[in-house]
Amino acid sequence: MVSTRYVNETVKIRRRVLTEVARLAMSGKLTQEVDDLPEKLVSMGNQRYRCCEYKEKAIYAERIKLALGLAQKSEYKKRRLSDLLSIALEYPDLGENQINIIDIACEGCPINKFFVTNACQNCLAHACQNACPRDAISVVQEQAYIDQNRCIECGLCKKSCPYNAIVEINRPCEASCQIGAIKSDTDRKATIDYNKCVECGACVIGCPYGAISHPSQIVKVIDYLKNNQVYAILAPAFIGQLGQKDNPGPVLRALEKLGFTKVVEVALGADIVSLEEAEEFFEKVPEQLKFMTSSCCPSFVNLIKKHYPELERHMSSTVSPMVAIAKYLKQKDPDYKVVFIGPCIAKKSEAWESGIVDAVLTFEELTAMLVAAGINVMELETEKGLENNVSGAGRGFAQAGGVAQAVGKVLENKEIIWTPINAQGLNECTELLNGLRKGKCEANFLEGMACVGGCLGGPGTLMDGKITRRFLQNICQKSEKQSAQDNNSAQIIRKDVGKGLHREK
């Protein structure tokens, strides 16, 4: 049996909401029944998690707004869901940061961030008292005591204690955010600093209340499927996601049954990007730049732009595989809609910015649509396989180190020094970027992936990345005779798209 990613109750609730919204949209009953959906969802749950039924319904209503594609905004508060449908169908919030906090669902995690342990010796120095800027520390029964009503959680007491007797407990959302974009307000509710947030989605997974989520484009995609010819462009990380192990046929067939006109692998776009990025590296390093970074992970791109702007000139200008293949398809069939399906939340913003990708679904959202349509991938038998015009290296983009490996293959016959390094997870990314900034890293190419394991560990995945990695490698090995540099399809498409393969700076 394939190991799934840990599914807790917050995940089940999110998927239940997505599935029911998809079901109503597919049946054409969204307008008539959406107002009754919160009560229906409450009744579907086995137990109540909030103080009362009314709060449960209110939280479900906010989750439904996200499922409809609406962000958490004050102007949407206390409005009937049916009244918001006309707004939702105009998709007004696509260009904004995708990570949203459902304020009413946030419990404020009423834990004391700093507290004194029994290791306190009530020393004469009282360093903690002297360090506290708010006089929040006193001595009670021979031990330091923190008045939480005065504490501003600055941490100076912890730093000053010679016995390390003061410990810090981070709230789950804060602990999951590796770049410090989430803090608590005066009511201890979580807030996001969007000037720092890179939309990696780690907090969506980390919040035990399910209070952090993202707007879905499910309704938009269902509308496309009813009224348009639609391309599904499928991220390489799809291998193994729906329980089909390394057999892609059932998934491809399921997408056809769902209504997608054609399915194209984004791995073909990865082959194109490998060629383009390798040429860019050859032209710029080392004459113009000492090093170059990859640019296919949107969260990594956001990390550089927001936290390391001085390094932005070192970032490859080549577009991501998603954008590369979408540009080709739009050029080939301009009347088709293009829907990216993958593991990433940040791709939603990237798609909007590109102006070329019409919608984005995570694997989780795709599964909700399949369940709503009554399509069981495990029951589909098909001999349909992957196209043979994609290399193993292109499919390998989904795993950490895959981009550097693919670009390196293109460069292996070039007379140039190639010293790549890859970083997975924002902690590693920031550590290596700091080294590059200070000149302490000798690598001349940095592949950055915001998720541990690469795209296989993305927030929109369904399966354990360690398991799907094995399935992906099996697929890549079957394609190993092909390589990015001699892939005719990638070469032809690259020539056709031309300058459209680079971002404007």
**CATH at residue 342:** 3.40.50.1780
Question: What is the full per-residue pLDDT of the chain (505 aa) written as tens digits?
Answer: 344 566 889 999 999 999 999 999 999 999 999 999 999 999 886 666 776 888 999 999 999 999 999 999 999 998 999 999 999 988 888 888 999 999 999 988 867 789 899 999 999 999 999 999 999 999 999 999 999 889 988 999 999 999 999 998 888 999 999 999 998 877 778 999 999 999 999 999 999 999 999 999 999 999 999 999 999 999 999 999 988 888 899 999 999 999 999 999 999 999 999 999 999 999 999 889 999 999 999 999 999 999 999 999 999 999 999 999 999 999 999 999 999 999 999 999 999 999 999 999 999 999 999 999 999 998 887 777 788 889 999 999 999 999 999 999 999 989 999 999 999 999 999 999 999 999 999 999 999 999 999 999 999 999 999 999 999 999 998 877 554 445 678 888 888 888 889 987 6
Cα 65 to Cα 439, 448, 452, distances in angstroms: 47, 33, 30
Number of domains in the chain: 2
Query: Could you tell me if 97 and 345 are in contact, meaning their C-beta atoms sit under 8 angstroms apart?
Result: no
Give the C-alpha separation, 178 to 158, whole Å: 21
Residue 191 inside a domain? The answer is no
pLDDT digits (tens, 9 = 90+) for 366-380: 999 999 999 999 888
With 0.85 as the threshold, say if the pTM is over it.
Answer: yes
397 and 289 within one domain: yes
Domain boundary (127, 147, 168) is at 168
156 and 260 within one domain: no
Residue 89 inside a domain? The answer is no
pLDDT of residue 3: 45
CATH number of the domain that residue 141 is part of: 3.30.70.20
160 and 277 within one domain: no
Give the C-alpha separation, 263 to 234, whole Å: 7
Q: Which residues form the domain of 122? A: 114-168
Residue 103 inside a domain? The answer is no
Query: Could you tell me if 232 and 130 are in contact, meaning their C-beta atoms sit under 8 angstroms apart?
Result: no
CA 479 to centroid of chain Cα atoms = 27
371 and 262 within one domain: yes
Give the C-alpha separation, 138 to 130, whole Å: 10
159 and 227 within one domain: no
Helix (H, G, I), strand (E, B) or coil at 360: strand
Q: Are strands 292-293 and 445-449 parallel, antiparallel or unpaired?
A: parallel
400 and 337 within one domain: yes
Give the C-alpha separation, 260 to 95, whole Å: 25
Domain boundary (131, 148, 168) is at 168
Residue 444 inside a domain? The answer is yes
432 and 324 within one domain: yes
pLDDT of residue 484: 45
Query: Could you tell me if 69 and 220 are in contact, meaning their C-beta atoms sit under 8 angstroms apart?
Result: yes
Residue 138 inside a domain? The answer is yes
Query: Could you tell me if 327 and 319 are in contact, meaning their C-beta atoms sit under 8 angstroms apart?
Result: yes
pLDDT digits (tens, 9 = 90+) for 22-31: 999 999 999 9
**Assigned token pair, 446:** 């940095």
290 and 144 within one domain: no
Please report the DSSP string for 428-470 in residue order.
Answer: HHHHHHHHHHTT----SEEEEESSTTBGGG-TT--B-HHHHHH
Give the C-alpha separation, 405 to 137, whole Å: 55
**Assigned token pair, 101:** 């906090």
Residue 13 inside a domain? The answer is no
286 and 162 within one domain: no
345 and 260 within one domain: yes
pLDDT of residue 251: 93
250 and 131 within one domain: no
Q: Which residues pair with 100 in a beta bridge?
A: 213
pLDDT of residue 243: 81
Q: In what order do the strands lie in the sheet with 337-342?
A: 262-265, 230-234, 337-342, 359-362
Number of helical (H) and strand (E) elements in the chain, helices listed first: 21, 15
Residue 149 inside a domain? The answer is yes
Residue 70 inside a domain? The answer is no
pLDDT digits (tens, 9 = 90+) for 183-209: 887 777 899 999 999 999 999 999 999
Q: Which residues pair with 447 in a beta bridge?
A: 422
159 and 222 within one domain: no
Please report the DSSP string for 185-252 in residue order.
Answer: -TTS-EEE-TTT-----HHHHH-TT--EE----HHHHHHHHHHS-EEEEE-GGGTTTTS-TT--HHHH
Domain boundary (168, 203, 238) is at 168
